[in-house]
Amino acid sequence: MTEQLRDHTTLRLGGPAERWVRATTEAELTAALVDADTAGEPVLVLGGGSNLVVADSGFQGTVIEVATAGADIDATDEASCGGAMVTVAAGEVWDDLVALAVEREWVGIEALSGIPGSVGATPIQNVGAYGQEVSQTIARVRVWDRTLRGVRTFAAADCHFGYRTSRFKADPGRHVVLSVTFQLRQGDLGAPVAYAELARALGVELGERAPLADVRRAVLELRGGKGMVLDPTDHDTWSAGSFFTNPVVDPEDVPEGAPSWPQADGRAKTSAAWLIDHAGFAKGYGTGTVALSGKHPLALTNRGGASTDELLALAREVRDGVAERFGIVLVNEPVLVGCEL
């Protein structure tokens, strides 16, 4: 039976895969990669499918589903200076790791609760939300290098992390994540709250700390209110999360009234959601089968029975409308497979 990619993506879009391999061990994963690369076949490495927009025609090549599991936990005071070193297989579910960290009182990823997808996907685009990024806690990333055909380990400093990017995203397809090691502090209070909306939800000031469990609960409630926690019965969650990244521009190019966050290089990050809304695309805007989420204008959603072509048409309309209104070109965050904007 031919696997349909729509059954493996959070957008529930995407056509058939020519060939499908489910890898449950590192050995199976690397063997599948070597086999496909030796045969010269195109490869799509699939984790949780939460950051993919796949063409209606599907994928002409081998889809390798990363279903590896397991974790190596070192939380002894002597080994980790009072913290925890946690090495997690790429195929593990990200939010399961966050839940475990909160339960074990490991500090540093609690604000990343509710993000769909796999652990192996997080370093690729330096996943972040509510003032935290995985780059703040990643110690090293083990990968299979498809060019050198061998295992490599990159320390955090060598991953070239930036806003929603890394060396892995900059060189797409070359490095397939095998495992990620996180260095997490121990304690019952989360990291200092660095996001105003979260601080308000917790009833604390920016820079103050709150109990780990409270932070997780608040983040899940905030994300749920924006349709960013997966729910098969809620079409507002049939999305790839934020479809566009927050643009970084020269300070003078930030539109009047738009949010602005200074960056280390002297530029300013502004809100893609604000730009979309003020360009005339309100929550719920769409054509019936595809629409902006009714909870958040930054998510493009499948309302049921949609096609990838329809979703991309809406994405182009939004992108071009923002560019015409504000002179800022939004960049898609999800990876496009067999299609383009």
User: Which residues participate in catalysis according to the annotation?
Assistant: 164, 242, 333
**DSSP code at position 123:** T
Amino acid in the structure at residue 261: W
Residue 113 structure tokens: 């609760």
CB 291 within 8 A of CB 314: yes
Kindly provide the residue ranges of all beta strands, DSSP E only, lying in 137-211, ordered along the sequence: 138-145, 150-155, 175-186
**Could you give the CA distance from residue 174 to residue 65 in angstroms, rounded to a whole number?**
16
Q: Closest Cα partner for 68 from 19, 104, 111, 32?
A: 32
CB 286 within 8 A of CB 299: no
Q: Closest Cα partner for 91 from 65, 72, 67, 123?
A: 67
Judged by DSSP in three states, 24 sits in coil
CB 114 within 8 A of CB 229: yes
